A and B are shown apart, each in its own frame.
Chain A
Amino acid sequence: MANTCTPSGLALVERYYSDYGSRARELKEQGRRFIGYLCAYVPLEIISAAGFIPFRVKGNVHEPISAADAQMETIVCPMVRSYFDQTLKGAWDFIEGLVLPHSCDSMCITRDIWRTSLNLPYFHLLNVPHTISDNSREFFVDCLRTFRTSIERYAGRTISNEAIAAEIEKYNALRKAVRHLYGLRRGDEPRISGSATVRTLVAAMSLPVDEAIPMVESITIEGSKQGPAFRKGTPRVMIVSSEQDDDGLASIVEQCGGAVVSDFTCPGLREYGQDVETCADPLVGLAGRYLNLNCARTYRGGTGKQADDLEERFGVIGRLAADFRVRGVIIRVHRYCDPYGLEVPALRSYLANHGLAVLYIEDDYSIMDIGRLRTRIQAFIEVISGSPETGVNIA
């Protein structure tokens, strides 16, 4: 007999997180079409307005990279290599196209490897300038226009401004829903764990926006009704990272007695913290929002005073740390990541100056590697256990 019960948000998250891509596979069988993409810099609104469902390509920290090694150099970011490895092995064989943004070298420079190895019917490299100046914004609008033309040619249909505006509204609703979810983590007794949040956001990356919104909203409602995920006084931790598409690190922190209450990651508050503004030309709104993502690949500040420079780069992290009353910050950088790696000393110093304990870890995007860090994480949690919330420098 068919189960007529609507699955809970939690059940959906567990299903789509543990079997990432399963919903896309179901929808593909129903005739829906998917375009894959990497990273937070691809405007999903344009893909959706073209009639495709955007699907975020991810890696697998549990599976050693094998197929990718014959084609992609091992000096590439291990996360991107794992993305490629999974794609090459057919994990996302329902996608008919791929959009790579020029976000970092590991994505941009490998574009020909993706293009020639996968030989998908559609491929586009979206250029993204490295600054957020007026020049760059104007240029990025043109890049988005080119992307729209490119996907229109593939889809064989034009994309109206109205269609893009409608999609912007939906994705803004998802962003708002995610921010509400984070609201559950502000209190003395956070209602949802960091690891559960990661699983929710990762599951959402694999869904059509129309399904992701109610799932996230369900999680928020369920979380607000259930007991606390952590007791009052549990050391509050924030994770700062580039992409984080696995709950491994948050889980270990929580197993070691910490409460991951906030983050500055993708997916996470870096990605969901800002809406697209409504503009007469929707591409202008999209350009403003996507270009302004506070990722290390983009240059901010520099000509003024060093203190202003640091505030522009890291101020948002400091504000989130204060807002979520964290005691310690874990900076996680994947090996071979130049943009984030070059930030580490300045970020460590900035956070320490704001009274936060800091743990910097570099990993290989594998669960084995993350597991090896357990002892350091445990020591870090012990250190911050004895300290009050933000305001005292224990770094």
Chain B
Amino acid sequence: MVKDMLAAGQRAHEEGKLTAYTLIASAYDEIIRAMDIVPLWVENFAGICSAKRNAMPFLEKAESHYFSRSMCTYALCCLGFDALREESGGMPSNAPWGGLPRPDMMLGTGTMICDPRVKWFQAARQYMPDVPIHMTNVLWPAYQQNIDHREVQDYYIRFMVSELRDLVAFLEQRTGRKMDWDRLAGLVDLADRTWNLFWETHELRRAVPTPMGTGDAFNTMVPLAFMLGTQQALDFYTALNQELKNRINNRMASVPDEKYRLMWGGGLAPWFALSDFDYFAAKGASFPVEISYRLAEPLYNLNLPRTSDPIEHIAWRWFKYLTYWYDAARKRNGSYPEVERMIRYIDDYQIDGIVIHEAFSCRTWHPGLICQLNTLKKIYRDIPTLVLESDMVDIGSYNESETHQRIDSFIDILENEKSQTSGP
């Protein structure tokens, strides 16, 4: 599916259709689909380079252009790739799966997380000075103790709606045609149903033994993260939902002899080392749930205001999703939303231990993970935790032997916990 998605971008470029560099979780999925812009998901491409262990030449190229290797390696990988592609005037010979074609525009987003999404495309513009950039703010209120998010929601929604309307205007200008609002409303409805089905499908993983682990979830998130607003995405989760039900009915487990149920408590995936999940599995450890890439809550839990305006609906959907855990946090002294989410998952999925991954190059997801674990232990209960360290792209940061040793030690702790709980 990922390969097909990349191929679709390459085909669109060859056929002269408009393409855009796009970023995950930017709230503009249905808008670009409704305007027939073919997305080229840059973070996804960097992940592909990483998974195929082919990112190093691109990272090195970026470094040779004075981009520090301490920065986001998703951005560096793609910047190095852009530099090579533009210098050679064609696709680099080492481009994985046919490579990322030159876009017609770049759609950046300013959010509460991820500085690179604000600056990345301007950096890329050195290699593509004729490619325009449009920046959309998708902001949400931070959890504050003396300001309830409902006090500020009206102006946040107003802002997001204005920003998305500006994006529509930009796309209308680039494409030379007007937005089909009925079509957009249809795609928004499709996206709503996909969100719900994604969540319901993941809830099936509560089963013991779990029918699907995080390793697979990191792959099956692709339709939600990169194909939202397409029938293909909805169809995918329809099929996955059925498959998981069948697996549960037939007691087909993700890990045949499931002894420990773990949560991926945060951090981007080390795409070059997904086989570590097999190592966990060999020790009897499954992953029924993860924080990363679980990018939806069911709409029927979000209490969205009714609106006939699809842009407003998108804004409310994201706002409510991003503030979903705030009320729960207010009810528990010392807690905050990220910790509440962990607590709920620990309970719902019968979690024995938590694994987090600290990717050295990403300040978006990773700072604060240790604090979340510390807070969790303080306000809820002590639970075994494992901190893995490497990166999402830079394989030079990864040490397989050391990682496996850490996993072994963690399994020993889990085993000890189990034996103490079950008694002699």
Contact = CB atoms under 8 A, between A and B. Distances in A.
Contacts of A104: 115
A136 interface: yes
B206 interface: no
A117 B125 contact: no
Interface in B360-415: 360-364, 366-372, 374-375
B115 A142 contact: no
A72 B102 CA distance: 39
A345 B246 CA distance: 54
A8 interface: no
Interface stretch (B40-48, B143-151, B233-241, B272-280): B143-151
Nearest to B68: A341
A335 B152 CA distance: 35
Nearest to A125: B142
A131 interface: yes
A342 B367 contact: no
A153 B146 contact: yes
Given A116-B334, A338-B71, A342-B120, A303 B134 contact: yes
Contact of B110 (A123, A129, A336, A338): A129
Nearest to A297: B115
A343 B368 CA distance: 26
Interface in A292-324: 296-299, 301-306, 309, 313
Given A125-B142, A333-B68, A344-B68, A112 B368 contact: yes
B137 A146 contact: no
Contact of A345 (B66, B110, B137): B66
Contact of A303 (B118, B132, B163, B372): B132
A68 B53 CA distance: 34
Contacts of A130: 110, 118, 135, 137
A73 B372 CA distance: 12
A105 B115 CA distance: 6
A110 B367 contact: yes
Interface in B157-210: 158-159, 162-163, 166, 170
A349 B123 CA distance: 12
A362 B135 contact: no
Contacts of A116: 334, 336, 371, 375
B144 A345 contact: no
A303 B132 CA distance: 5
A341 to B, nearest CB: 5
B139 A129 contact: yes
B370 A341 contact: no
A391 to B, nearest CB: 24
A228 interface: no
A146 B141 CA distance: 11
A105 B147 contact: no
Interface string A122-136: 011101011101011
A150 B119 contact: no
Interface string A252-275: 000000000000000000000000
Contact of A299 (B108, B170, B366): B108
B72 interface: yes
B122 interface: yes
B116 A71 contact: no
A112 B338 contact: yes
Contact of A306 (B112, B129, B155): B129
Interface of A: 70-73, 75-77, 102, 104-106, 108-113, 115-117, 123-125, 127, 129-131, 133, 135-136, 138-139, 142, 146, 149-150, 153-154, 296-299, 301-306, 309, 313, 333, 335-339, 341-346, 348-349, 360, 362
11 contacts: A75-B361, A123-B145, A131-B110, A139-B139, A139-B156, A149-B151, A296-B119, A303-B133, A306-B125, A306-B129, A344-B67
